[in-house]
Amino acid sequence: MPAYLYILRCADGSYYVGTTRGSLERRVAEHQSGVLGGYTSGRRPVELVWHQEFANITDAIAMERRVKGWTRAKKEALIAGEWERLHDLAKRRTAPFETRSKGRSSG
Q: Which domains does the chain have, with CATH numbers?
A: 3-92 (3.40.1440)
**Higher pLDDT residue, 1 or 64?**
64
What is the pLDDT confidence band of residue 92, given thresholds at 50, 70 and 90?
Answer: low
pLDDT in tens, 25-62: 999 999 999 999 999 999 999 999 999 999 999 999 99
Report the 3 state secondary structure along the chain.
CCEEEEEEECCCCCEEEEEEECCHHHHHHHHHHCCCCHHHHCCCCCEEEEEEEECCHHHHHHHHHHHHCCCHHHHHHHHHCCHHHHHHHHCCCCCHHHHHHHHCCCC
Is the pLDDT assigned to residue 13 strictly greater than 80?
A: yes
Report the pLDDT averaged over residues 15-21: 98
Report the pLDDT averaged over residues 65-74: 95
